[in-house]
C-alpha cells in the first residue's frame, strides 16, 4: 500500500457553529455542508469534518473528545504576518515564532488554541 495524502480528519467539538466561525474567521477556511447537514472546514485539497460531541458519526475514534487534537497547518504567510493576523483576531498566542521540523523540512511555527482548546500550529517552510 502507498498513501498519497491526507484527505480529511475529524474534530469532535462542543459547538459546531462556534468552531465554524473560528476556523473561517481566523484561518480562512471555507465552511461547507455535506451529507445530511454535516459541517466541514475546507482548505486546499483537504477538509476537517466536524462531529458534535455526543452526536458523533459511527465509526468514530475510541475516545472522541473536544480538545484532544494537535494540528499543524502550513501557510505561505510569514510568521510575523501570522502573529499580526492572530492579534487582529484577538487570538492569544501560546508560543512562537519558533523553529520546528515539518514533514519536508524546517518550518517556523506559531501556536494557539481553538474554541475547544485544540492546539493549532500554523507554520511556514523556511527559505532554502
Active site members = 121
C-alpha cell at 113: 488554541
Closest CA to 20 of 11, 77, 63: 11
From 8, 2, 5, select the one nearest 103 (Cα to Cα).
Answer: 5
The helix/strand/coil state of 78 is coil
Listing from the earlier edge strand, what are the strands of the sheet with 93-101? 70-74, 119-125, 106-113, 93-101
- The CA distance from 119 to 97, in Å, is 15
| CA nearest neighbour of 112 among 128, 96, 88 | 96
Amino acid at each position: 500500500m502507498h498513501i498519497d495524502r491526507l484527505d480529511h480528519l475529524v474534530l469532535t467539538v462542543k459547538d459546531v457553529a462556534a468552531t465554524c466561525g473560528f476556523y473561517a474567521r481566523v484561518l480562512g477556511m471555507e465552511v461547507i455542508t455535506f451529507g445530511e447537514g454535516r459541517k466541514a472546514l475546507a482548505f486546499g485539497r483537504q477538509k476537517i469534518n466536524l462531529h458534535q460531541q455526543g452526536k458523533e458519526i459511527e465509526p468514530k475514534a475510541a475516545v472522541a473528545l473536544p480538545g484532544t487534537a494537535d494540528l499543524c497547518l502550513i501557510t505561505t504567510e510569514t510568521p510575523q504576518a501570522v502573529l499580526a493576523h492572530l492579534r487582529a483576531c484577538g487570538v492569544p498566542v501560546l508560543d512562537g515564532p519558533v523553529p520546528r521540523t515539518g514533514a519536508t523540512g524546517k518550518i517556523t511555527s506559531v501556536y494557539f488554541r481553538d474554541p475547544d482548546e485544540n492546539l493549532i500550529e500554523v507554520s511556514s517552510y523556511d527559505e532554502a
